Amino acid sequence: MKCKSAVIKLGGSLITDKSSPRTINWDSLNDSILQIYKYYKESNAKIVLVHGGGSFGHYEVDKIRKTRNVIDSFSTSLIQESMLTLALAVLKSSINSGIPASLHPAHTICKSNVKDCNYYPIINDLNNGLIPITYGDAVFDGEGKIISGDDLSVQISNIINSDCLIFATDVEGILDEKGNLIRELRRDQNINIINRNVFDVTGGIINKINKAFNSKSNNIRIVSGKEIYNALNGEDVGTKIISL
């Protein structure tokens, strides 16, 4: 079924070059955004966009954790600055393609975790026809805490009751140990998967799968960035996460 409402998470590995600090993968970012614009124009679906940290947030946190155990207020500020820089690129790409985007940095709406955020500004923009963008971020609550974009995506999908939750990544979906695509994944399934971890401070693919199981969306998928339009259009692409 075509998505009438969707939360789309653009993974940091898709929109940045994870091997190079603070580097945007403009080709991949623009291509992802163009697919979202195309679908939005055709369908008028309600869409919330969330993005990850990639070589911005994850690199910054990794660097800080090498020298200290807790993230202090100044370090929080550094992480926020790096994520805002990436968010502005996502916003620019969206606006250039014609998307009426609005930016909601998580540190301006969240206190300490995704259950403690004021999602009203996002919902309000969504109901008024905009495409709100939020992203994984750092908040300061006595100490610096990382808010993951995956958690935000699941939480928002449940709050707005989106029928689709799409995690777009730089691989075609979840791959088994032989590198073959797993088409469907259930909570009780025992599988060995490939886990790549290039400075991912929020836990990599296994964590992503476990988080995705908490969404109540009917159509939860982990797909290649090249398949965002097809996933929104209801095609059976990538890995379908069966959370029931």
Closest CA to 169 of 108, 93, 90, 222: 222
Token pair of 171, please? 């691989």
Q: What are phi and psi of 188, to 5 degrees?
A: -90, 0
Cross-strand pairs, 221: 166, 240
Closer to ligand IP8 by CB, 57 or 238: give it: 57
Our finding on whether 211 is near ligand IP8 (CB under 6 A) is: no
Our finding on whether 138 is near ligand IP8 (CB under 6 A) is: yes
Our finding on whether 202 is near ligand IP8 (CB under 6 A) is: yes
What's the N-to-C CA distance of the chain in angstroms?
Answer: 18
Closer to ligand IP8 by CB, 52 or 173: give it: 52
Closer to ligand IP8 by CB, 153 or 219: give it: 153
Q: Which amino acid is at 232?
A: L
Q: Among residue numbers 91 through 130, which ones bind ligand IP8 (CB under 6 A)? A: none
Tell me the CA distances in angstroms from 202 to 64, 121, 138, 197, one per residue in order. Answer: 14, 25, 12, 10
Q: How many residues does the chain have?
A: 244
Site string for ligand IP8, 43-72 (x = CB under 6 A): ---------xx---xx--x-----------
Our finding on whether 173 is near ligand IP8 (CB under 6 A) is: no
Give the interface with ligand IP8 as residue ranges (CB under 6 A): 12, 52-53, 57-58, 61, 79, 83, 136-138, 146, 148-150, 201-202
